[in-house]
A and B are shown apart, each in its own frame.
Chain A
C-alpha cells in the first residue's frame, strides 16, 4: 500500500557514507518527516565520502550537522520536511521502540550486528527496511518488506563471527557509497510508493568493474526470522552487539 509522501516518516540509521547521500535525497523528496540516528562525531577521515560534512564540522555530532544541512537544502527546495535527530546508538533494548511508527527504515550501519538487529526489529515491528553495506570498491543494497519475500536473514543468514571486514579497517571509496546511498534512497521511495517489486532483490555494485548486478531472492524456508523463530531482539542474538561496539554508522 502506498504511503502519502507528505505524511511519510522515514528513519535513517547511520549518517555516514551511505546515510549522507540517502538522507540528502530523502529530505528533498517530499517526505514529511526524516529522523536521523547516529552517535558519532565528524572526523577528517570521513570527509571524502560523507558529503554532508566539511572540515570545520570535525568534532561535532554528525546528526546535528547533517540535520542543519538537510533542513537548509529542503527549505531552499521548497520541501517542508521535518528533520528530527537522535544522538545515540541503536541497541537491542532500544531498537524496537526506535523503528516503531516509521513507514520505512533505511540503515547504513558499519557493522553486521546492527544490520541484523535492525532486520529483526523491523520485521517484528512490521516496518519495511532498506539495508546496504560497502567496503573498498564493492557493496550491496536491498529492501525487505515484512511478511513478503526475502529478508536480510534469507540471504546472509546470521551475524558473521569471523572474517569481518568493515570500512573502518579496509576503507571504502566515496563513489561506491554515493551510488549505494542513492540506490538505497530510491528503494525507500519505491517502498513508500507501494511498489511490490522493490523488495527481495539484492543489488551488488562493483565500482572497479562499473557493474550493478541484481539478483532476485526468494524467501528461504529455514530462515529464522521469516519462519517466526526469532521473536525478540535479545542481546545474545548479536554476538558482537555490546554497547561498546555497536555503532550506528561509519
Chain B
C-alpha cells in the first residue's frame, strides 16, 4: 500500500528537501516506520513513547488521526497523509 506523505518545511531537512514523499504501509504506524527507514530521524520528530507528539498533527486525507485510530489508523491506496507541526513564528 503506497501513500503520499506531505512533509512540512521544518522537516524537509530530513527528506533532502522533498515536500512530498511516498511511503508504504497499511497503518499510519507502518507508514511512519517506512519513512524512518528512508529518512532516519523523522520518526523521532513525529512520535514519542506515548504516540504522536502533542504538538504534531497527522491527517489522513483531511481527518486528524487523533479522531480516528491514531497510529493504528488504516490507510488505503491513494490516501494522502499530511504532517502539520505547531509553528510559533510570526
Contact = CB atoms under 8 A, between A and B. Distances in A.
Contact of A133 (B8, B53, B64, B87): B87
Interface in B47-81: 53-55, 57, 59, 62, 64, 66-67
A229 interface: no
B21 to A, nearest CB: 14
A108 B9 CA distance: 20
B54 to A, nearest CB: 4
**By CB atoms of chain A within 10 A, which of B53, B67, B82 has the most?**
B53
A213 B67 CA distance: 19
B86 A135 contact: no
Interface string B1-35: 00000001110000000010000000000000000
Nearest to A153: B54
Interface string A105-128: 000111110010000000000000
Interface of B: 8-10, 19, 45, 53-55, 57, 59, 62, 64, 66-67, 82, 84-90
Interface of A: 14, 16-19, 108-112, 115, 132-140, 155-160, 163-168, 170, 172, 177, 202, 204, 206, 208-209, 213, 215, 217-218, 220, 249-250
> Which 3 pairs show the lowest CB-CB distances between chains A and B?
A167-B89, A157-B54, A108-B90
